[in-house]
């Protein structure tokens, strides 16, 4: 384990050394090696997007009948009106259960290279299958979800449209695929994207100062790529949660988590996997100490937070779907 740790530190230092010469002197050309603008949507060859599938996915994302109680939808915890999160330390689930980790945002999630804090799902298609079945979240079963959908004629016809190539389109995997298709469109470009695309005035001088600091300090060793995070795992020695170790049982994965994305970070409080830190300044300070072994100055924190605020993106205009009513055969909600 010690070797691993040493290797990790070396790797981070190596990445930082690689980055500094190419980026620290600023100019958005060099930043393009670190960051990339958000795409309009994220494609997945195994789940080709089409309009009907995206629309169906939006309906299912908001439909509480996916939960046993008929009360929780995906949107309950990944709330589209509040940065794609519930702004709770950990989510409230079936029978008032408390989730073990802070709910990550659904906005731009599709661009992450894995899903969940511990990366246990490879993409949003796989992720969407989890919370529906979790007894402390939506507490449903595959059978219940499919029976509810099969007894609602409008859903039956929407599934046929959304999966035209499929003989038997109503499957649990397709429920998740439709939801994931919707999620793949939930990109929130910000002024930072305009900057990356060449508009040098898109960021204020204070935001540029913050950007230069996160590059120089090495934050961008991990917070990089189009989501400024979400594409690597790192050890984060904070709290008792064993993180990715619970998935891999690999000693090197103790307290290893997926790096959080900086996109919309000003909206996705409270912070970290336990959701115990409410203040973005404090989160930045903790990160400096724990991950870079640096005590950031008040000034540095100030400008970093100003930069992070520039990553609050434009939320797509989403009109509320009108969900089709249940029928006589639809299993009733069950709050027990």
- For a second copy, the binding residues (CB under 8 A) are 62-64, 69-71, 76, 79-83, 86-88, 92, 95-96, 98, 266-267, 269, 278-279, 315, 317-323, 325-326, 328, 332-333, 335
Q: Shortest distance, CB of residue 180 to a second copy, whole angstroms?
A: 19
Q: Shortest distance, CB of residue 322 to a second copy, whole angstroms?
A: 5
- Looking at the Cβ atoms of 20 and 323, the one nearer to a second copy is 323
- Looking at the Cβ atoms of 121 and 267, the one nearer to a second copy is 267
Q: Is the peptide bond before 34 cis (omega within 30 degrees of 0)?
A: no
Could you say which of 125, 126, 137, 173 is catalytic? 137
Strands (DSSP E) contained in 202-314 are 233-235, 256-258
Rounded Cα distance, 150 and 132, in Å: 17
Helical (H) or strand (E) element with 162? helix 153-162
Q: What is the DSSP string of 21-67?
A: HHHTT--HHHHTTT--PPPSS---TTS---HHHHHHHHHHHH-GGGS
**Considering just the CA atoms, what is the radius of gyration of the chain in Å?**
21
Q: Shortest distance, CB of residue 120 to a second copy, whole angstroms?
A: 25
SS3 state of residue 243: strand
CB 29 within 8 A of CB 194: no
- Looking at the Cβ atoms of 54 and 315, the one nearer to a second copy is 315
Q: Shortest distance, CB of residue 82 to a second copy, whole angstroms?
A: 5
Per the listing, tokens 């804090």 go with: 117
CB burial of 253-281 (b: ≥16 within 10 Å; e: otherwise) equals: bbbbbbbbbbbbbebbbbbbbbbebeebe
Q: Shortest distance, CB of residue 97 to a second copy, whole angstroms?
A: 9
314 part of the active site: no
Rounded Cα distance, 43 and 215, in Å: 29
Residue partners of 251: CB distance under 8 A and separation at least 6: 1, 4, 245
Rounded Cα distance, 299 and 107, in Å: 30
Q: Shortest distance, CB of residue 239 to a second copy, whole angstroms?
A: 18
- Looking at the Cβ atoms of 64 and 252, the one nearer to a second copy is 64
Residues forming the active site: 137
């Amino acid at each position: 384990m010690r070797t691993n740790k040493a290797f990790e530190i070396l790797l981070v230092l190596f990445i930082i050394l690689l980055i500094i010469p190419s980026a620290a002197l600023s100019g958005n050309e060099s930043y393009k090696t670190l960051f990339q603008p958000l795409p309009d949507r994220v494609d997945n060859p195994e789940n080709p997007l089409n309009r009907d599938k995206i629309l169906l996915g939006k309906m299912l994302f908001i439909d509480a009948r996916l939960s046993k109680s008929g009360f929780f939808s995906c949107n309950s915890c990944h709330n589209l009106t509040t940065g794609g999160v519930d702004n709770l330390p950990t989510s409230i689930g079936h029978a008032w259960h408390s989730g073990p980790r802070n709910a990550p945002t659904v906005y731009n999630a599709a661009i992450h290279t894995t899903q969940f804090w511990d990366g246990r799902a490879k993409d949003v298609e796989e992720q969407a299958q989890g919370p529906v079945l979790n007894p402390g979240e939506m507490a449903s079963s595959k059978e219940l979800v499919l029976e509810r959908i099969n007894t609602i004629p409008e859903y039956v016809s929407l599934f046929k449209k959304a999966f035209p190539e499929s003989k038997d389109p109503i499957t649990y995997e397709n429920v998740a695929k439709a939801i994931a298709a919707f999620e793949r469109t939930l990109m929130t470009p910000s002024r930072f994207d305009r900057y990356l695309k060449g508009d040098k005035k898109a960021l204020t001088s204070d935001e540029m100062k913050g950007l230069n600091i996160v590059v120089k300090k090495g934050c961008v060793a991990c917070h990089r790529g189009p989501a400024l995070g979400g594409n690597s795992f790192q050890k984060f020695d904070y709290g008792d949660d064993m993180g990715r170790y619970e998935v891999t049982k690999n000693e090197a994965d103790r307290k290893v988590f997926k790096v959080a994305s900086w996109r919309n970070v000003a909206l996705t409080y409270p912070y970290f996997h336990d959701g115990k830190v409410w203040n973005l300044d404090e989160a930045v300070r903790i990160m400096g100490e724990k991950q870079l072994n640096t005590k950031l100055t008040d000034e540095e924190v100030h400008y970093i937070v100003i930069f992070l605020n520039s990553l609050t993106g434009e939320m797509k205009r989403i009109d509320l779907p009108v969900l089709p009513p249940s029928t006589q055969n639809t299993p009733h909600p069950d709050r027990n």
